Amino acid sequence: MAFEFTDNNFKTEALDKKGVSVVDFWAEWCGPCRAITPIIEDLAKEYDGKVTVGKLNVDDNPEVAMKYGIRSIPTILVLKDGEVVDKTVGVTTKQALADKIEANL
């Protein structure tokens, strides 16, 4: 299952961790966000133990969303060692995300 990022755990689970993290910024009311949820869940299973793949609800966790200037959702950030190395806005394919993950492993 995809990890649940929050304002409280984002620093320790995404910024301070070595390695790659994938953060899907989403909201309950967002249709395109719901459309990519199965992709995020699949990637979380496939990369379990290698990459932290998770979701951050922008309505419940506005601090992180504001810090990264998230204006459109879904937005997916790929972080490596706490730094943003890739950003995707809008719906994308599982293969496109997997390619971004692989490029940063």
Query: Which CATH number does the domain housing residue 17 bear?
Result: 3.40.30.10
Domain with 47 in it: 3-104
Asked about 30 being catalytic, the answer comes back as yes
Share of the chain above pLDDT 90, in %: 98
pLDDT digits (tens, 9 = 90+) for 50-80: 999 999 999 999 999 999 999 999 999 999 9
Selecting among 13, 17, 30, 80, the annotated active-site residue is 30
Selecting among 33, 43, 58, 76, the annotated active-site residue is 33
Asked about 101 being catalytic, the answer comes back as no
The model's pTM: 0.96
Buried/exposed code over 37-76 (b: 16+ C-beta within 10 A; e: otherwise): eebbeebbeebeeebbbbbbbbeebeebbeebebeebbbb
How many domains, the chain?
Answer: 1
pLDDT digits (tens, 9 = 90+) for 44-56: 999 999 999 999 9
Cis peptide leading into 74, omega within 30 of 0? yes
Q: Phi and psi for 44 in degrees, rounded to 5?
A: -60, -40
